Chain A
Amino acid sequence: MGDTFLVVAEGRDGKLRQVSFETIRAAKQAMRDGDRIAAALIGDGVSAFAGEIGRCGVDRVYVVDHAELSRYNPEAYFPALAAIVDRASPDAIFFGHTAVGRDLAPKLAAQLGAGQISDVVSLEKDGGGEWLLTRPLYAGKAFETRRFAQRPAVVTVRPNNFAAAEVAEGAAAEVEAVPYAPPASPGLRTIVKEVVRKASGKIDLTEAKIVVSGGRGVKSAEGFQVLERLADVLGAAVGASRGACDAGYCDYALQIGQTGKVVTPEIYIACGISGAIQHLAGMSRSRIIIAINKDPEAPIFKVADYGIVGDLFEVVPLLTEEFKKALA
């Protein structure tokens, strides 16, 4: 009998996250003959996703669907995950490298006494079928390939680096509801008091196919509205350089770089960003880089596929209009 890999899938804004399909693809690449993939869904109302995830080439879908799990709380979520892991006895557990994945995966690894390889961007097998997992160091200034010395294995997968597993027509995998009793509230030491959904309906930076990013050249918080209009037209996420965040133009949640987030979109549009090495680390694996900057000597032009030397406040609105026409 082969091994079982468990993929922990996530929903967001009423649908399955793209990274969950990509994580299933990563798990498929890890498979040898006889191995199986199961999916896990944890949350409130997540049963609704079971059919779709069950048609991605997985054998079984484990679900913990409970009203107490409407907000993410590691102390409430972890027992649900542990119950599924207990049931599935996986040899490896795959998560997206998301806020939830980054939070639950190390906790599970500690519980299992397991190794974890985080933020994986590619997975190959050597001649013996053993996994070779590649991940960035220094936010992408270097890459290392690692192996597991033993099982179980815990992996988190970086968004936008694996093709999404396809949802096929036809029969879905069997769905198994796993019993779950939320920890009684006196036993629960963590209470989620409030969630302010600033990012509701927006595309997560790390998952976005297009990122419009601003630096010090954007000059103010109001200046970012010019970038947001372009992002709206493109269905893009807005990001920022450390300089723009430090200057208070936008929230640190938007920061791209070695401190901040690493993004690998199809198109990265850098507006008024000079291209400090710590920023380049966070975005230079984007497929196409576009730079708009007044200074023709700005280092960002050295990594850009297409560069426009000019005033972003003039160029970006024109670009917004051109994209509108092209995408109409």
Chain B
Amino acid sequence: MSTLHTISKSPAKGLLSSCAPLLKQGDALMLLEDGVYYSYQNELDDLLAKGFEVYCLSEDLLARGPADKNLAESKLLDYEGFVDLCCEHDKLVNWF
């Protein structure tokens, strides 16, 4: 039983600090829309160090110009991959 959390707003809204304490072993995080800006930052390091999988919607990341940024180790997924990821987890919690 695992949950996929998604964040779709900019790190300035602070949603990661609300979401992160509620993650359980096996849960994962998907970043989309302005949430992809988390991948530019080291705020994700803590989650990654704890072994949580973090994914990033490639369409939204590419739209924003990630090329010369030192991205955190989130995995890129397109919409098809996002749908697959939803199927791999039992439910979603969407943070926006």
Our verdict on whether A and B bind, yes or no, reads no
| Residues of chain B at the chain A interface (Cβ within 8 Å) | none
| Residues of chain A at the chain B interface (Cβ within 8 Å) | none
